[in-house]
Amino acid sequence: MRATLSVRRFLVLTSALLIAGCNRGPDATARPTVALVVKTLNNQFFVDMEAGAKAAADSLGLELIVQAPEREIDVERQMQIIENLIQRKVRVLMLVPNGSKEIVPAVVKANVARIPVVVVDSRVDDGTLKAAGGTVATFIGSDNEDGGRMAGAYLIERLGRTARVAILEGVPGHETADARLRGFRKALAGSPAMQIVASQPANMERDQAFNVTQNILQAHPDITALFACNDVMALGALEAIAAAGKGTAISVVGFDAQDDARKAITERRMAATIAQNPREMGRLAVLTAHRLIHGESVPAEQPVAISLIR
Amino acid sequence: MPTQTTPEPGLALQMRGIRKAFPGVQALAGVDLDVRRGEVHVLLGENGAGKSTLMKILSGALPRDAGTIEIDGRAAALASPREARGARIAIIHQELALVPEMTVAENIFLGRAPTRFGFLDQPAMVRDATTFLSRLGANIDPNLLVASLSIAQQQLVEIARALSLDARILIMDEPTSALTERESARLFATISGLTARGTAIVYISHRLDEIFAIGDRITVLRDGRNVATQEVRQADRRALVRLMANRDVDELMPPMERTTGTPRLRVEGLSHGNRLHDVSFNVRSGEIVGFAGLLGAGRTEIARAVFGLEPFDHGTVYVDELPVDIRSPQDAIAAGIGFVTEDRKREGLVLSRSVRDNVALPILRRLARLGIVHRKAETAIAQSSVRDLGIRTPSVSQLAQNLSGGNQQKIVLAKWLATGARILFLDEPTRGIDVGSKQEIYALINELAASGVAIVLMSSDLPEVLGLSDRVLVMREGRITGEFTRAEASAERVMACAVGI
Amino acid sequence: MISSSTLRRIVRGRESGTTFGLLVLCVGLWIATPYFATAANLSNVAEQSAVIGVIAIGMTFVILTGGIDLSVGSLVALVSVVIGSALQRGVPVFAAVAIGLLAGVVSGALNGLMITRGPLPPFIATLGMMSVARGAALLLSDGRPISGFPDGLRALATGEVFGVPAPVVMMLTLYLLAYLVLTRTVFGRYMYAIGGNEEATVLAGVNVRRWKTVVYAISGLSAGVCAVLLVARLNSAQPIAGIGYELDAIAAVVIGGTSLLGGSGSVIGTLIGALIMSVLRNGLNLLGVSSYLQQVAIGVVIIAAVLIDMALRRRVQRSSR
């Protein structure tokens, strides 16, 4: 009996805490609610995006809900979150999809519920979307392909047109990573002395990048450059390179301009990274949502400038 | 009652009026025991007489209900093994309590390793271990892993540990059961050395030859009491056996007239490693054949072999005079054999399931059509079992774990009867069961036999075997060493065969 | 079909604790947000619970026998990829699904063989299979998701039967089937007996080895059905699908009151456990609770559910003495 009582008390306390720690139901303030669903909040990039979005929402008088699955690879969970938010009757859905093609059914559901969809940073596959009869209001993001191209051009310039290059790919089939790779490869295509000797996926994760880089170094100890599709992987690669004692011999370029990457660049351990400005993406997304709520039209493409940090 | 006694010169241990009860059974009913310094005091008694309980109390592993213990004239509480060690009592169990993956030295000082500034003082440990080992005349390298030693050597390590505890009272439980003759002889020499230094030894053994070789005095325990203490010189083997076994055969067994029919089960030349040697016997329908013997004599092994649980090297099994190849319990059940195992909780019942589920388990296939169980048939069988066997339960949906031991055992019996078994192995069928239920089960066994079932009864409870069996087979160390009809069988004769006179 | 005695058992029995918990959660959410108790949302919740709910059926069987299956998440990926590859090669939907399910059954049976013949502990065997199946899925698909499937398959996710989403219908049908098997068939009895006391069951002449292998095959089949659902829902077969699903399935089973030691529990409890988890996630989304707090909340619920169940079990035991 005593056991059940204390268990009950524990449950009541927990439920109270949960209910206290969240937004209550219908807005007492009657502010329009918009939602931002990112790939995962366990990545600095999206935490920055959330910060930019929050700031914009506060200044525009919008209620912002930010949700994400635990893992960048979990599309099913993202779909469930979107379904739930549709029930929540949010006014606009801002989305960074975990699967370019897989997320289309969820977009269609939002369309049916007459919730405009703003796609951020990672594109929804156009062909699949059209085939399913879905639409998105706009795409806000950097041209990832252009960013890859910039990274390639930088390496060519830095290494004097000759190098043995290794590439760390992202999650296969992810549009973002694919675009960056495309751009990078195109940039290198014009310089035959820039040889790509290895290209392996590391799923955008740091410890996988460490292992893969170690293996690449075993097979190709004489590489002089490494391009990683995001900073998380680049940082893992840096550690593997340091462990192999090749710190100065290899120029590493990442993507995303995370704080740790910037630090590594100032410390001269890393060569460069491409900054996408996720904060700006978040701000623009909320701004666009605001305009959509007020019936204004928005352009189909809203590019956000990228820059090379070296 | 505790009396003020003047300690006899040379009395290392004095136990008076030791009582200990477990639920349902009075294990010790007021035991007195004196052990002099420097003597080898043998403790004799059959299974269940109370030897191990008494020694557990002495070594601090069990608390006593009543009675006093004096060590070297001083009262001792012995409330824990540590206290017993503090009183310089050491016990060497039949199953040696050493850690195989540690070295000899580490084992000798287990839990008491010498330290220096908080770190293990390895050299001191090895040095001390060597001292004790050499005192025993044991030529063992203290740095060897215990797992690499022979049993005889491991035993010496245990004795060395006792020495390192500066034990004044050493309890040894069946120390020679795993030793060769030569190793036993060396052990006896070691014991002599110990007693010469004043250590008192309580020596538990069944082997009468040994007892007469090294013992100074003998105490016989029976039914939780000390029935005799004698000097070895004055003891007579036959008299000892009579003391051990002679009890009132309880009037619990209603004698029954039964006619026996054709041999239902015949086993020829059953052998398995060194556990069973050329066992042959038969059981007729309507007959109860009892297997007597000490624990570990091999009775359960026979049942397990015939029931298909263990493979055997040689031997043939005939059911109704036809040879059968039984490789699994399924085959055995198909041949009409049932096996009431000795541990009903572990092997006989699924305690978390109901009476009905347990009774029906072996015959579910028969009660089902196209895989779907016929509920009504299942309940009907369970209910008729409850009725026929007098199982006391509010309903057949009651969980087996909620019934008393006696009723649980009846469920096990019911289960086998429901399979239509005509040959039944009963292994310790009344272990841990109160007297009232025992009587009911005996009546059931008799009824079963009267209805034509061939029963093999295995039990270490001598009166039970003697009272129920038409024939008694005695086993010792994997062999059948004696066969008696009901008329010929007596406790002493059976006991004699069991210990090997 | 469900007798009054079963209803009485549900109300008074072990499942009552979990059902009560689910009701409390629903009422709480109903009060906290107006978006919860709408037909559309509840329909969503039911549909969302189908993914883990289906796997949890097989997991219930396995846990009832005292085992565990850590490989189901990877099997979901493997079967997805098998189905995807088949469809890509033009195999008709029906056949592709059948081949996928077969792959699930065979993998599960392999688990069963490792466990009964090895004999390997279920934890180890299925842990190994978890890795092997994941690797096989990645190999077969070259690491890339396969997409673009015929409408016939998508209908499994988007279709409706009398207004109820197809996945929910599928889930409920499978639960009903599982319930009948566990309570009415010889096989079901064997499950409980093996979990309750494997040794005694062997002694009773039951071919425990065979049935344990079958149980793991069933778990593989459940994972396969989940894969079919997932492929239909996402219109894509991903080799990285299903990561972490085994833990969610185990959580559903445990919340539902089935003991990890085996021998007691019911599949109805698992259904309620799966629903509790979906309702919780749905509610937290609707309330806009921070994603970090959500992860904490789910863990707390699992612990609370097990504590309640243990307390209830002690009470039931005491009252029947």
Composition of chain C by helix, strand, coil, percent to 5: 75, 5, 20
Q: By the CB < 8 Å criterion, does B304 face chain C?
A: no
Answer whether residue A60 is part of any domain.
yes
* pLDDT value, residue B7: 44
For range C194-222, the mean pLDDT? 95
* pLDDT value, residue B161: 85
- Give the tokens for residue B327: 């490789």
* pLDDT value, residue B495: 85
- Put simply, the answer to whether C186 touches B365 (Cβ < 8 Å) is yes
Residue C125 pLDDT grade (very low, low, confident, very high; cuts 50, 70, 90): very high
Give the position of tokens 């390639």: A152
Note which residues in 270-299 of chain C have CB less than 8 A from chain A: 281-282, 284-293, 295, 297
- Put simply, the answer to whether C193 touches B357 (Cβ < 8 Å) is yes
Regarding whether A214 and A236 lie in a shared domain, the answer is yes
Residue A17 has pLDDT above 80, yes or no: no
In B132-173, DSSP assigns E strands to: 169-173
**A200 to A210, A227, A277, B144, C135: CA distances (angstroms):** 12, 11, 26, 51, 16
Contact C63, C245 (CB under 8 A): no
| Minimum-distance CB partner of A70 among C236, C238, C295 | C295
Q: How far is A104 from chain C (nearest CA, A)?
A: 8
Classify residue B81 as exposed, middle or buried by CB count within 10 Å of its CB (0-12, 13-18, 19+): middle
What percent of chain B is modeled with pLDDT above 70?
Answer: 94
Contact B423, B264 (CB under 8 A): yes
- Give the tokens for residue B437: 């239920």
Answer whether residue C321 is part of any domain.
no
How is B346-404 classified by DSSP, letter by letter? III--TTSBHHHHHHGGGTTTTEETTEE-HHHHHHHHHHHHHHHT---S-TTSBGGGS-
Nearest alpha carbon to residue C186 among C216, C209, C207, C217: C207
State phi, psi for B59 to the nearest 5 degrees.
Answer: -90, 5
Residue A60 pLDDT grade (very low, low, confident, very high; cuts 50, 70, 90): very high
Rg, C-alpha atoms of chain B: 26
Residue type, C82: V
Q: How far is C16 from chain A (nearest CA, A)?
A: 14
Regarding whether A186 and A39 lie in a shared domain, the answer is no
What pairs with residue A199 in β-bridges?
Answer: A167
Answer whether residue A309 is part of any domain.
no
- Put simply, the answer to whether C48 touches A80 (Cβ < 8 Å) is yes
Classify residue C71 as exposed, middle or buried by CB count within 10 Å of its CB (0-12, 13-18, 19+): buried
Contact A65, A34 (CB under 8 A): yes
Residues 6+ apart with CB under 8 A from B111: none
Answer whether residue C207 is part of any domain.
yes
Nearest alpha carbon to residue A300 among A110, A177, A117: A117
Q: How far is C230 from chain A (nearest CA, A)?
A: 8
Measured between CA atoms, the residue of chain C closest to residue B308 is C203
Which structural domain range is residue C30 located in? 4-314
Q: How far is B418 from chain C (nearest CA, A)?
A: 12
Q: By the CB < 8 Å criterion, does B353 face chain C?
A: yes
User: Rounded to a whole number, what is the distance in angstroms from the first to the last CA of chain C?
Assistant: 31
Answer whether residue C291 is part of any domain.
yes
For the stretch C62-95, pLDDT in tens is 999 999 999 999 999 999 999 999 999 999 999 9
Residue C34 has pLDDT above 60, yes or no: yes
Measured between CA atoms, the residue of chain C closest to residue A72 is C240
Answer whether residue A28 is part of any domain.
no
Residue C158 has pLDDT above 80, yes or no: yes
Can you tell me the distance from the alpha carbon of A191 to that of A161, in angstroms, rounded to the nearest whole number?
7
Answer whether residue A61 is part of any domain.
yes
Residue C6 has pLDDT above 60, yes or no: no
Contact A175, A143 (CB under 8 A): no
**B282 to B286, B326, B339, B427, B458: CA distances (angstroms):** 12, 17, 16, 17, 14
For range C209-216, the mean pLDDT? 97
Q: How far is C205 from chain B (nearest CA, A)?
A: 4
* pLDDT value, residue C116: 96
Answer whether residue A48 is part of any domain.
yes
Q: By the CB < 8 Å criterion, does C39 face chain A?
A: no
Regarding whether A153 and A261 lie in a shared domain, the answer is yes
Contact A249, A225 (CB under 8 A): no
- Give the tokens for residue B108: 């000798």
Strands B25-36 and B74-75 turn out to be: unpaired
Q: By the CB < 8 Å criterion, does C33 face chain A?
A: yes
- The number of distinct structural domains making up chain C is 1
* pLDDT value, residue C12: 54
Residues 6+ apart with CB under 8 A from B417: B338, B385, B389, B448
Contact B329, B305 (CB under 8 A): no
Q: Tell me the three state secondary structure of residue B67.
A: strand
For the stretch A131-148, pLDDT in tens is 889 999 999 998 889 999
* pLDDT value, residue A3: 41
Residues 6+ apart with CB under 8 A from B147: B100, B101
Q: Which residue has the higher pLDDT, B161 or A28?
A: B161
* pLDDT value, residue A10: 54
* pLDDT value, residue A62: 94
| Minimum-distance CB partner of B330 among C189, C205, C263 | C205
How is C130-148 classified by DSSP, letter by letter? HHHHHHHHHHHHTTS-EE-
In chain A, DSSP assigns E strands to: 33-37, 63-67, 92-95, 117-120, 138-141, 163-169, 194-201, 225-228, 251-253, 273-275, 301-303, 307-309
For the stretch A71-116, pLDDT in tens is 888 899 999 999 999 999 999 999 999 988 899 999 999 999 999 9
Q: Tell me the three state secondary structure of residue B310.
A: coil
Nearest alpha carbon to residue A107 among A93, A121, A127: A93
State phi, psi for B235 to the nearest 5 degrees.
Answer: -85, 150
- Put simply, the answer to whether C35 touches A1 (Cβ < 8 Å) is no
Residue C318 has pLDDT above 80, yes or no: no
* pLDDT value, residue B255: 63
- Put simply, the answer to whether C287 touches A14 (Cβ < 8 Å) is no
Q: What CATH number does residue A177 fall under?
A: 3.40.50.2300
- Put simply, the answer to whether C320 touches B399 (Cβ < 8 Å) is yes
Contact B36, B101 (CB under 8 A): no
Contact B41, B202 (CB under 8 A): yes
Residues 6+ apart with CB under 8 A from B49: B221, B222, B223, B224, B244
- Put simply, the answer to whether C307 touches A3 (Cβ < 8 Å) is yes
Measured between CA atoms, the residue of chain A closest to residue C38 is A87
Residue type, A36: L
User: Helices C291-319 and A2-20: crossing angle, nearest 10°?
Assistant: 160
What pairs with residue C160 in β-bridges?
Answer: C165
Can you tell me the distance from the alpha carbon of A136 to that of A134, in angstroms, rounded to the nearest whole number?
7
Note which residues in 102-131 of chain C have CB less than 8 A from chain A: none
- Give the tokens for residue B147: 């797992």
Q: By the CB < 8 Å criterion, does B352 face chain C?
A: yes
**Interface test mutation site (partner A, options C31, C52, C142, C147, max chain A beta carbons within 10 A):** C147
For the stretch C270-282, pLDDT in tens is 999 999 999 998 9
Residue type, A235: L
Q: How far is C87 from chain A (nearest CA, A)?
A: 16
What percent of chain A is modeled with pLDDT above 90?
Answer: 56
For range A13-27, the mean pLDDT? 51
Can you tell me the distance from the alpha carbon of B390 to that of B393, in angstroms, rounded to the nearest whole number?
9
Regarding whether A221 and A115 lie in a shared domain, the answer is no
- Give the tokens for residue B25: 């059974």
**Interface test mutation site (partner C, options A10, A22, A125, max chain C beta carbons within 10 A):** A22
Q: Which residue has the higher pLDDT, C229 or B259?
A: C229
* pLDDT value, residue C4: 53
User: Rounded to a whole number, what is the distance in angstroms from the first to the last CA of chain A?
Assistant: 66
Contact B253, B468 (CB under 8 A): yes
**Interface test mutation site (partner B, options C64, C202, C203, C314, max chain B beta carbons within 10 A):** C203
ipTM for the predicted complex: 0.83
Q: Tell me the three state secondary structure of residue B332.
A: helix
In the DSSP assignment, the letter for residue A272 is B
State phi, psi for B32 to the nearest 5 degrees.
Answer: -110, 140
Measured between CA atoms, the residue of chain C closest to residue B338 is C204
Answer whether residue A219 is part of any domain.
yes
Residue type, A258: Q
Residues A13, A15, A19, A20: what is their CA dihedral angle, to the nearest 10 degrees?
10
- The number of distinct structural domains making up chain A is 2
* pLDDT value, residue B26: 80
User: Which residues in chain A have Cβ-Cβ distances shorter than 8 Å to C236?
Assistant: 75, 99, 101-102
Q: How far is B364 from chain C (nearest CA, A)?
A: 6
User: Which residues in chain A have Cβ-Cβ distances shorter than 8 Å to C46?
Assistant: none
Residue C14 pLDDT grade (very low, low, confident, very high; cuts 50, 70, 90): low
Q: How far is C260 from chain A (nearest CA, A)?
A: 20
Answer whether residue A205 is part of any domain.
yes
Rg, C-alpha atoms of chain A: 22
Q: How far is C234 from chain A (nearest CA, A)?
A: 5
* pLDDT value, residue B432: 73
Check contact B-C (3+ Cβ pairs < 8 Å).
yes
Regarding whether A222 and A107 lie in a shared domain, the answer is no
Contact A92, A118 (CB under 8 A): yes
Regarding whether A202 and A105 lie in a shared domain, the answer is no
Which structural domain range is residue A153 located in? 144-275
| Minimum-distance CB partner of B351 among C184, C197, C204 | C197
What is the arrangement of strands in the sheet containing A251-253, beginning at the earlier edge strand?
A194-201, A163-169, A225-228, A251-253
Q: By the CB < 8 Å criterion, does C23 face chain A?
A: no
| Minimum-distance CB partner of C186 among B330, B364, B375 | B364
* pLDDT value, residue A16: 54
Regarding whether A168 and A117 lie in a shared domain, the answer is no
For the stretch B305-342, pLDDT in tens is 999 999 989 999 999 999 999 999 999 999 999 999 98
Which residues in chain B land under pLDDT 70?
A: 1-9, 24, 47-48, 178, 245-256, 435, 501
User: Which residues in chain C have Cβ-Cβ distances shorter than 8 Å to B357?
Assistant: 189, 192-193
Can you tell me the distance from the alpha carbon of B183 to that of B149, in angstroms, rounded to the nearest whole number?
13
Regarding whether A228 and A298 lie in a shared domain, the answer is no
Q: How far is A250 from chain C (nearest CA, A)?
A: 28
Measured between CA atoms, the residue of chain C closest to residue B364 is C186
Residue C291 pLDDT grade (very low, low, confident, very high; cuts 50, 70, 90): confident
Answer whether residue C213 is part of any domain.
yes
Q: What CATH number does residue C279 fall under?
A: 1.10.3470
Can you tell me the distance from the alpha carbon of B94 to that of B158, in angstroms, rounded to the nearest whole number?
11
Regarding whether A132 and A171 lie in a shared domain, the answer is no
- Put simply, the answer to whether A19 touches C32 (Cβ < 8 Å) is yes
Answer whether residue C208 is part of any domain.
yes
**A146 to A15, A255, A294, A307, B287: CA distances (angstroms):** 49, 12, 33, 10, 96
